[in-house]
Structure 1
Amino acid sequence: MDLYVGKNRKVVSICETQPLTVKGLIHLLESAEDLAFGSSHGSPAEWMLSPGADKTDVLIIDKGLGAKTVLDALSQLPAEHGVARSTVPAVVVWGMSITEAEALKFLQAGAKGIVRKSADTGTVLACLRAVAQGRSWMQDSVFREAAAVETQIRTDLTPREHQVMELVEQGFKNREIAQELGIRPGTVKIHLKHIFEKTGVRGRHGLALNGLRQKGVISLLAS
């Protein structure tokens, strides 16, 4: 579809395979005074080759295209646009089903927004507006564990537990954490057990996501 750039409006382009979904998004964007529809494509690779790619402020990528496709696009965006423009588009990943593990990978790879396709129009617009303004955003229904933990998550942790938690947030695996800290993998497991008990988080993905939230890297919106 042709690129449309509205005056003083952030341009949103879409990588989506379902025509009806694209039409719905276009209608939603047309109803917003601060957002404008840019273009729609069947894949991120197709979008990268389009004439209007360098005018895109926000790029929506359907997780249904495959997690690998999303991650590949996130890794390629800086290389594709680093010379042509000072900033790359803010990427919003959306899909019918996104696990905490997948969402964490997307965020660590550079995605700025995570939202479900089942979200209401207000939630979708809130996400697009937030990332268009340079903020990161995630829908809390995707991250039940991360949303449930309060800000005292770090207060009772020992210095070593803080170190382990920091490395978990960076995506380190147990064996890598052990090598980094000079301890045994079994000791890492013990530290994680204590961290989970103190924070109330059951899994490392929720732990990492909550750590990113508390650092202000991402924000939650109830849905």
Structure 2
Amino acid sequence: MIRIVLVDDHPVVRAGLRALVDGQEDLSVVGEADGLARAREVVGADRPDVVLMDLSLGDGQAGGAEVTAALRALPEPPEVLVLTTYDTESDILRALEAGARGYLLKDAPPEELFAGIRATARGETVLAPSVAATLVRRTTPGAVTITEREVEVLELLSRGLGNKEMARELFVSEATVKSHLSHIYTKLGVDTRAGAVAAAIERRIIRA
């Protein structure tokens, strides 16, 4: 029996997933959590094989990537399978770098989800087709690659922050922010802040 913990801040979503997953003879939901503190508690008590992890866990809470990293740092860590609505490059990379074994989207058919859970429990990598395509594009020779710090700048740009505010958020100088912006404009083929945000959203580098 594959033991599963659900981490999602929406009770209705957790209830739906529990009903779906528990309908499989070899799968069993043994616990639920809505954030980091509860996830640590439940995982420590119930020792699941797989954690199904949402990425957006509500305002003021650690995101799914941070929770994933915390769970993977435990002495006997569970495998983590991200199940989310987001397929932007920044979300994918953060989740995988945090230690997630796989990344599926919430519109996946039930059978794909079940197969993904089983594969994750076996230690195999599971990726939604659009996620795999994003990673392939990123590693294609000659492809424009946005660095993690440039993604952070783009996310701050999308929030309407100015150079001084971005420098404060990133703990760097305004000159460094301007340098990042220059590189971003060149890579995305734009010459304005609004153009950079629009291009990043269109290319699914950051969320809308």
On whether the aligned pair clears a TM of 0.5, the verdict is yes
Higher mean C-alpha displacement, 62-71 vs 140-149: 140-149
| Residue 129 (structure 2) pairs with residue 140 (structure 1) | yes
Correspondence for 2:50: 58
- Taking the TM superposition and a 5 Å limit, the aligned residue runs for 1:80-91 are 81-82=74-75, 85=76, 88-91=77-80
CA distance in 2, matches of 1:125, 1:149: 28
Q: How far did residue 172 of structure 1 move?
A: 7.3
Correspondence for 1:71: 65
Contact map agreement 1:38 1:52 (CA 8 A) in 2: no
CA distance in 1, matches of 2:36, 2:149: 29
Correspondence for 2:96: 107
Correspondence for 1:177: none
Q: SS at 2:56's partner residue?
A: helix
TM-score by length of 1: 0.57
CA distance in 1, matches of 2:148, 2:8: 32
Gaps of 5+ in 1: 1-8, 175-184, 194-202, 207-223
Q: SS at 1:63's partner residue?
A: coil
- Taking the TM superposition and a 5 Å limit, the aligned residue runs for 1:112-123 are 112-123=101-112
CA distance in 1, matches of 2:67, 2:112: 24
- Taking the TM superposition and a 5 Å limit, the aligned residue runs for 1:7-22 are 9-22=1-14
| Residue 114 (structure 2) pairs with residue 125 (structure 1) | yes
Q: CA RMSD in A?
A: 3.5
User: Which of 18, 24, 30 is the aligned partner of 2:22?
Assistant: 30
Contact map agreement 1:29 1:37 (CA 8 A) in 2: yes
Q: How far did residue 124 of structure 1 move?
A: 1.0
Gaps of 5+ in 2: 151-178, 188-199, 204-208
Contact map agreement 2:90 2:148 (CA 8 A) in 1: no
After superposition, the Cα gap between the structure-2 partners of 1:48 and 1:172, relative to the gap in structure 1 and judged at 3 Å, is: closer
- The residue type equivalent to 1:38 in the other structure is V
Contact map agreement 2:72 2:99 (CA 8 A) in 1: no
Higher mean C-alpha displacement, 43-52 vs 32-41: 43-52
TM-score by length of 2: 0.60
Contact map agreement 1:47 1:53 (CA 8 A) in 2: no
After superposition, the Cα gap between the structure-2 partners of 1:21 and 1:108, relative to the gap in structure 1 and judged at 3 Å, is: same
CA distance in 2, matches of 1:35, 1:55: 14
Equivalent pairs, count: 156
